[in-house]
Amino acid sequence: MSGRRPGEPVPRPRPAAAPGLEPPLGQGAALGHWLRRARRLELPHAMVVEGAAGIGKTVVLRWLAAALQCPSELDLEGPCGLCRTCSRIGSGAFPDVHVVDRAHDEQDRREQKKSFHVIKVDQIRAAQAVLGRHPVEGRARVLVVADADTMEETAQNALLKTLEEPGTATFLLLEARRAEALLPTVRSRAQRLRVLPLDEATLRRELQRRLPDRSDHHATAARIADGSLGLALRSCTERTVQLHDLARGVLADTKGLRPLATAALVLAGERELRAAGEAARTFLRLLRAELRARRDALAAAAANSYPAAVAEPWTAWLESTLAAERDLDLLIPPEQVLTACLVDLQGP
């Protein structure tokens, strides 16, 4: 049974969106509500789009920005995804959607005022100067701050002026992995939208669509991704497969673990700080996924009646991997973070 009433037209599939711009997956009614408001230019003047790394925050941000700017009147539920405006937003070339991001390592070495680790106050002030002008060709002025939770405190304080007096048709979209890292004064002036994790069936379907030649890795990638399509896609690369094997090897012999050597293997070949940090995060997530699988298998084998003492190491190790990710957020060097975490796994 199709569930359609007699005479009801068959829904047509939505055409593929422009490259770099795609409808977010699995976000339900909450995102739909804000998209409809964005089409009417009634979105709150500031929104914090939060969620884990790779969960789809950038996809949501671009779709919201396109909903604000898309001139098409054919769809009031979201952007058309196909017009010239949507295409340019997808490619990052639309003049009325401004993006602030952390500088890359190469820029850090050439320009002392920029920093890989943080968004500096000068970057925010430059963006505010652009927002002060009339839109070039869009319906609104949109500022997207990627990794907004890495803004210096002075940068966040500078942003308060725009949050308090945004101007007509001016919208700020702040991406954050850890919204609590934003100042309370910033958070209190913004609506928060949490990006939801995807279920394994959706992840496997997307992996098959995007990486059909890596089907041998799909089941494992979907299982360890924690609902993150970004992590699932990365988990199908040879590099992540190597890190996954390394994580399993660590748990196979924690007593014989060599923390320094293992940390060096995780970071091997990563010359830039950002790449090293992402390799460390990926390894920690893979390690956590394996820890959870072992903990759950232990619980199932004992019919949920195993002694607390048996479960205690697994719980402690899971907490250690989470603490390590928080240390990476605090800009502690990846090698130091990984070594400390692996020492905890090694035990006394």
The pLDDT tens digits for 315-343 are: 888 899 999 988 987 778 999 999 999 99
Structure confidence at residue 139 (pLDDT): 94
Cα(274)–Cα(212) distance, integer angstroms: 29
The tokens describing 69, both together, are 């700017």
Contact 262, 245 (CB under 8 A): no
User: With a cut of 50, which residues of the chain have pLDDT below it?
Assistant: 1-5, 7-13, 105-114
* Cα torsion 146, 147, 149, 153: sign: negative
Torsion of CA 71, 76, 79, 83, to 10 degrees: -40
Q: What is the pTM of this model?
A: 0.78
Cα(241)–Cα(260) distance, integer angstroms: 21
Find where tokens 């905890």 sit: 344
**Listed residue (341, 179, 183) closest to 251, CA to CA:** 341
| pLDDT tens per residue across span 215-232 | 988 988 898 888 989 889
Please give the domain boundaries of the chain with CATH numbers for all domains. Answer: 28-194 (3.40.50.300), 237-346 (no CATH)
Structure confidence at residue 302 (pLDDT): 63
Structure confidence at residue 54 (pLDDT): 83
Contact 195, 51 (CB under 8 A): yes
* Cα torsion 183, 186, 187, 192: sign: negative
Helices (H), the chain: 28-39, 57-69, 84-91, 105-110, 121-131, 153-164, 184-187, 200-210, 218-224, 229-234, 238-252, 259-266, 273-301, 308-329, 334-346
Residue 140 contacts by C-beta under 8 Å, 6 or more apart in sequence? 41, 68, 69, 96, 169, 170, 171
Residue 271 contacts by C-beta under 8 Å, 6 or more apart in sequence? none
Cα(176)–Cα(6) distance, integer angstroms: 47
Structure confidence at residue 109 (pLDDT): 42
Cα(200)–Cα(232) distance, integer angstroms: 10
Cα(315)–Cα(313) distance, integer angstroms: 5
DSSP assignment of 93-122? --TTEEEE-PPPHHHHHH-TT--SS-B-HH
